[in-house]
């Protein structure tokens, strides 16, 4: 197959036809990126800031084109595409302006034995970074790696999902249009299927960032391991919200409805599980039902969310819903009948078995389980008892801090959902089946650099040649006593 045909998930209309890059072509594009890396690194933080901000402005000025393309190729409503774009722009802006400060050389203390030295740590770009992006947030999510890696001084080769390649092409071409003086290869595009991603892993990149499922992430890691390419894995989630008895119940239900159903539930940091204290369970269910009742999928201007972008995901959603009900859960909103050929209406299931796939596996659809608990301790225990650890939410007026401290996850919103994703200064990443490494924030910038330790002798100490075969005899006799004096008392 030499062509990749991208279609509108709502209509099957052909959006774009792109090439499927061969292994040889991928290697050539990576080699081109390596040549461009010399120029890009030489621009320094100020030059890269100028280029990234020019890119940002170009995207914003042409946002109508991109939003329309996102609506057609991904299926999400235009307003959701606009919101996604706003978040991505915030991250480009933050990285462009903060990279120089975050990655500035750091002075370190040399210690007593080498007091005549100075010491510093430098943050050096890897060189060429490969990025394999997802389809659910085709701008915001890969941008979290791409803008960060570029700001840190790397060039980037980007493979967008085969479901949203035209969006990826637009994004890459926008950088070139905004920076005509930049050589080809600062930000490059490759398109294709899984084999193309595997070729990128083996094409000589110095680091690779992947966003997707744990199963695919394992394959990417295996390909990268062949040549010891380090990786950042931003994988799936099964994020839980805990609703305490002292929460603002109406506000919690409203936020959770959005966190669960927005983007057709196709959000790795979206809410898929709720644990609510028994005393407020009925009130919460009533408010949640009200909040969800006004939500409807579609492709028109009044749609709350669009179609399922990847058709194969519909079967997973159906299996999870059926399993939840078969395990003893009660459908309080929707049910198996909510699952159509392209669209899935909201589904809320009360108290399915904890062992059911609807609890233990990532669903990635507009569904939500609600589990009744007798205490916050039980809520925390159940929330942690899944193989994922990406994000979550806590709703409480007086117990949020203690709940947050006990949750074994990597990002948490308090009395809200998804707040961390909109803050460019906060890191994003996971644990367990949710992956490892960090994008966004200072931690993300450092993720795309390697450290270089530099120790400089400022002056010799007469008679004290510690790092020499010519050490004086008195010094050899003195060292054991010095060891005891420094560390044995």
Tens of pLDDT, residue by residue over 136-148, are 999 999 999 999 9
Instruction: Name beta bridge partners: 381.
Output: none
**Does 124 lie in the same domain as 11?**
yes
Residue 431 counted as domain residue: no
**Domain coverage including residue 309:** 239-423
**Does 286 lie in the same domain as 226?**
no
For the chain, first and last CA: distance in Å?
72
| Structural domains counted in the chain | 3
**Does 417 lie in the same domain as 466?**
no
The percentage of residues in the chain with a pLDDT greater than 70, rounded to a whole number, is 100
* 92-131 per-position pLDDT tens digit: 999 999 999 999 999 999 999 999 999 999 999 999 999 9
- How far is CA 170 from each of CA 47, 65, 429, rounded to the nearest angstrom? 23, 9, 26
Structure tokens at 381: 């225990």
**Does 403 lie in the same domain as 336?**
yes
Identify how many contiguous H helices and E strands the chain contains and give both numbers. Answer: 16, 20
Confidence at 196, pLDDT banded by 50, 70, 90: very high
Give the model's pLDDT for residue 392: 98
Give the model's pLDDT for residue 165: 98
**Does 187 lie in the same domain as 75?**
yes
**Does 260 lie in the same domain as 185?**
no
Q: Mean pLDDT, to the nearest integer, of 355-364? A: 98
- The CATH number linked to 227 is 3.40.605.10
| CA gap 74, 136 in Å, rounded | 7
Residue 433 counted as domain residue: no
| CA gap 445, 430 in Å, rounded | 16
Give the model's pLDDT for residue 31: 98
Give the model's pLDDT for residue 181: 98
pLDDT at 374 over 90: yes
Residue 334 counted as domain residue: yes
Q: Which of 45, 140, 3, 65 lies closest to 418 in space, CA to CA?
A: 140
Tell me the average pLDDT of the chain: 97
| CA gap 170, 180 in Å, rounded | 15
Strand 207-211 relative to strand 231-234, pairing: parallel
| CA gap 468, 124 in Å, rounded | 30
- How far is CA 216 from each of CA 38, 51, 90, 325, 439, rounded to the nearest angstrom? 32, 33, 29, 28, 19
**Does 231 lie in the same domain as 259?**
no
pLDDT at 240 over 80: yes
- The CATH number linked to 362 is 3.40.309.10
**Does 146 lie in the same domain as 21?**
yes
Give the model's pLDDT for residue 18: 98
**Does 226 lie in the same domain as 147?**
yes
**Does 254 lie in the same domain as 183?**
no
> 405 an active-site residue?
no
Q: Which of 395, 357, 154 lies closest to 272 in space, CA to CA?
A: 357
Residue 432 counted as domain residue: no
Q: Which of 332, 258, 327, 259 lies closest to 295 in space, CA to CA?
A: 258
pLDDT at 307 over 90: yes
Give the model's pLDDT for residue 477: 95
| CA gap 269, 261 in Å, rounded | 12
* 247-292 per-position pLDDT tens digit: 999 999 999 999 999 999 999 999 999 999 999 999 999 999 999 9
Confidence at 326, pLDDT banded by 50, 70, 90: very high
Strand 435-436 relative to strand 106-108, pairing: unpaired
Judge whether 219 and 55 are in contact, CB under 8 Å. Answer: no
Q: Mean pLDDT, to the nearest integer, of 362-372? A: 98
Give the model's pLDDT for residue 395: 98
Structure tokens at 59: 């995207």
Decide: pTM greater than 0.95: yes
Give the model's pLDDT for residue 479: 94
Residue 192 counted as domain residue: yes
> 224 an active-site residue?
no
> Exactly one of 234, 272, 361, 447 is catalytic; which is it?
234
> Exactly one of 224, 268, 272, 361 is catalytic; which is it?
268
């Amino acid at each position: 197959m030499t062509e990749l045909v991208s279609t509108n998930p709502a209509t099957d209309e052909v959006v774009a036809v792109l090439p499927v890059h061969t292994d040889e072509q991928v290697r050539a594009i990576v080699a081109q990126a390596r040549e461009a890396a010399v120029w890009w690194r030489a621009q320094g933080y100020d030059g890269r800031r100028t280029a990234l901000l020019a890119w940002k402005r170009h995207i914003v000025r042409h946002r109508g084109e991109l939003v329309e393309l996102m609506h057609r190729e991904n299926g999400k409503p235009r307003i959701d595409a606009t919101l996604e774009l706003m978040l991505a722009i915030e991250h480009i802006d933050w990285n462009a302006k903060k990279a120089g400060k975050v990655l500035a050389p750091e002075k370190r203390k040399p210690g007593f034995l080498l007091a005549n030295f100075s010491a510093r740590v430098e943050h050096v770009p890897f060189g060429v970074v490969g990025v394999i992006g997802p389809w659910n947030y085709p701008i915001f999510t890969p941008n979290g790696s791409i803008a960060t890696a570029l700001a840190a001084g790397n060039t980037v080769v980007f493979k967008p999902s085969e479901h949203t390649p035209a969006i990826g092409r637009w994004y890459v071409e926008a950088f070139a249009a905004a920076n005509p003086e930049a050589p080809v290869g600062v930000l490059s595009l490759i398109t294709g299927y899984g084999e193309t991603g595997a070729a990128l892993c083996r094409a000589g990149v110095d680091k690779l960032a992947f966003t997707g499922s744990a199963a695919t992430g394992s394959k990417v890691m295996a390909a990268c391991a062949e040549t010891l390419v380090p990786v950042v894995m931003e994988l799936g989630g099964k994020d839980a919200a805990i609703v305490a008895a002292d929460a603002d119940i109406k506000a919690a239900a409203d936020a959770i409805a959005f966190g669960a159903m927005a983007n057709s539930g196709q959000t790795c940091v979206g809410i898929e599980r709720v644990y609510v204290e028994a005393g407020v369970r009925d009130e919460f269910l009533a408010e949640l039902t009200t909040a969800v009742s006004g939500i409807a999928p579609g492709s028109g201007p009044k749609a709350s969310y669009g179609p399922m972008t990847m058709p194969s995901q519909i079967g997973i959603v159906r299996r999870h819903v059926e399993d939840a009900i078969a395990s003893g859960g009660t459908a309080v909103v929707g049910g198996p009948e909510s699952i159509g050929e392209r669209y899935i209406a909201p589904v809320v299931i009360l108290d399915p078995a904890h062992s059911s796939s609807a609890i233990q596996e990532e669903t990635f659809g507009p569904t939500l389980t609600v589990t009744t608990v007798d205490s916050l301790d039980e809520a925390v225990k159940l929330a942690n008892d899944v193989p994922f650890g990406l994000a979550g939410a806590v709703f409480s007026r007086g117990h949020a801090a203690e709940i947050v401290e006990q949750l074994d996850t990597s990002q948490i919103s308090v009395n809200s959902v998804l707040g961390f994703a909109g803050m460019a200064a906060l890191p994003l990443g996971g644990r367990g089946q949710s992956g490892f490494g960090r994008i966004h924030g200072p931690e993300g910038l450092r993720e795309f650099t390697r450290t270089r330790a530099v120790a400089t002798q400022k002056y010799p100490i007469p008679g004290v040649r510690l790092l020499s075969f010519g050490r004086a005899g008195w010094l050899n006799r003195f060292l054991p006593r010095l060891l005891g004096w420094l560390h044995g008392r």
